Structure formats: structure tokens, C-alpha cells
Amino acid sequence: MDVHAFAGADEGRRLLLGGVEIPHERGLTGHSDADVLSHAVTDAMLGAAGLEDIGHYFPDTDERFKDANSIELLRLIRTLVEEDWSVVNVDAVVICERPKIRDHRDAMRRNLSEALDVESSQVSVRGTTSEKLGFTGRGEGIAAQAVCLLEGRGGG
């Protein structure tokens, strides 16, 4: 799971989800590009492999990761994991009232599947609302949840 708050309208942040720039009046705050969907998928993969979380590998105190492309960070984690594991599938959901995810899902699936080096049929991306409840319902930010199934390579 990952969560990011919306930046102020005057901060000039782009909204990136699954590596796709989504037209929206505000982007998300974060040390990297704040791609909440890519972060959730990255953490799901790390968790499935029994490794540390995303902050361990890309700490927000390290200037090398300032405004980093989260799809590229996911690729780096894939190379770390793929020695022992292969991705069977990923299922992810973006939680927000706005923007609507529907029109961008296929592009997000393509970006994530390319970063993971799997077929797009192995990656699912859905959107849902929180029925106007909580911080996502009030339009204060976006959350994403993901699960990743890995299969061991040989003795993994």
C-alpha cells in the first residue's frame, strides 16, 4: 500500500500513476515523482520476495532519488528480485474520487508490465472510490494497494 497527498495547485507537480501522466489540476507530493501506484507495486514485489520496503532501497533522505522516475525504480527492484523469483501476476487498485482511472488503465498496465518484464495480461490495474470517505474521499490525496505473486526460480 502507498499513499500520497495532493500538492498545492501552485507547486507545479504532475500527476503520474503507473508511469502515465494524468491530466489533473494537482499532482502528488513526494520525494520522487510520487507515483503512488508504482510505489505500491514495488512494495508488493519486495514484500512477496521477503525483502525490505521501498524506503530501504530508495530513502527520501537521499538526494539521488529526488524526483526519481518510479517506473525506473520498479525496474531496479525487478532486477534485484528476478535472480530468485519471477512475477506470476500483479493486481493493483488506485483509490481516489478524482481523477477517473478507467481511461488510463491500459497505458498503466503496459508501463507496469514492461517494467516488470511480463505480459500485460499478468498485470491488473483498477480504480475505485472511497465513497467520499476519508482523505481520498475528501480529495486530499490518492492511495494505491497492490499484491504480487512470485514464483521461485529453482531453489527460491
Please tell me the pTM assigned to this model.
0.96
pLDDT tens, N- to C-terminus, the chain (156 residues): 999 999 998 888 999 999 999 999 999 999 999 999 999 999 999 999 999 999 999 999 999 999 999 999 999 999 999 999 999 999 999 999 999 999 999 999 999 999 999 999 999 999 999 999 999 999 999 999 999 999 998 754
Bridge-partner residues for 150, per DSSP? 87
The CATH number covering residue 43 comes to 3.30.1330.50
Distance between start and end Cα atoms, the chain: 25
Bridge-partner residues for 127, per DSSP? 94
- How many structural domains is the chain composed of? 1
Domain that holds residue 144: 2-152
Q: How many CB atoms lie within 10 A of CB 114?
A: 15
